[in-house]
Structure 1
Amino acid sequence: MELLLETVALFCLKLAYETEDSSPILRDDLMMSEYEREGFGLLVRRGDVEAIQKKVDECLSLALNSIGVDTVLGRELNRLAVHFSDSQTMEQLDAPLIALKDYLKDIQ
């Protein structure tokens, strides 16, 4: 799950900050320091659903602001984000997280 969380964060930051004429954002970039796999791993081991959702929500907010909340892409991303936020247990995070990752990858 840690890799999925890191990937969702990476795709969000790419949407928010990456431009065509700049270098691509990579997992080891400084802006990813708060969203590294090890940090997510600690939260996963603790079973801290709320902290995981908060970190992912930070990234999703950046992505939503960059693509526009009122666009078709933004509305769908928001719908997926709400589904992720509604999860109550670690097990319930899996399916919405995969859906977020797949959607973010598709709209890159």
Structure 2
Amino acid sequence: MKSALETVALFCHKLAYETEDQSPILRDDLMMSDYQRDVFELLIARGDVAMIQHKINECLLLALDAMGGAEKPLGRELQRVSTEFHAAQTLDSLEPPLQVIKGYLRAVV
């Protein structure tokens, strides 16, 4: 799951900050320091579902803004696919909706 969390964070940052005229945002870029695999690994080891959701929500808000907000079709769909992720209360229940979010962002990016 830590890889999927990092990937969702990366896709969100790409949507928010990456432009065609600059080099692509990579996992080891400074802006990704709070969203790297080892950060998520620690949160998973602690079982800190709330903090995982908080960190991913920060990223999703960036992506939502980049999509034009919740009023636009892409933003509405992002909110729809992330609903179950926000409602999850255990680590096991985070994984399926996380994969849906990851798939959606992959298609958009």
Q: TM-score range by the shorter chain?
A: over 0.9
Corresponding residue for residue 38 of structure 1: 38
TM-score normalised per structure 1? 0.98
Provide the residue aligned with 1:84 in structure 2: 85
Residue number in structure 2 paired with 1:95:
96
| TM-superposed deviation, 1:53 | 0.1
What's the Cα RMSD here?
0.6
**What letter is aligned with 1:45?**
A
* Aligned structure 1 segments of 4 or more residues deviating by more than 2 angstroms: none
> Is the 1:67–1:73 Cα contact (8 Å) retained in structure 2?
yes
Q: Distance in 1 between matches of 2:85 and 2:20?
A: 29
Shift of 1:83: 1.6
For 1:70 and 1:82, locate their aligned partners in 2 and report how far apart those are by CA, in whole Å: 16
Paired with 2:3 and 2:97, the residues of 1 have a C-alpha distance of 14
Q: Percent same amino acid among aligned pairs?
A: 57
Pairing 1:107–2:108 present: yes
**In structure 1, how many angstroms separate the alpha carbons of the residues matched to 2:26 and 2:97?**
23
Name the residue aligned to 2:47: 47
How much has 1:45 moved relative to structure 2? Answer: 0.6
SS in 2 for 1:13: helix
Give the length in aligned residue pairs: 108
What runs of 5+ residues in structure 2 fail to find an aligned partner? Answer: none
Point out where structure 1 has 5 or more consecutive residues left out of the alignment.
none
Q: C-alpha offsets along residues 3-36 of structure 1, whole Å, 9 cap, x if unaligned?
A: 0000000000000000111110000000000101
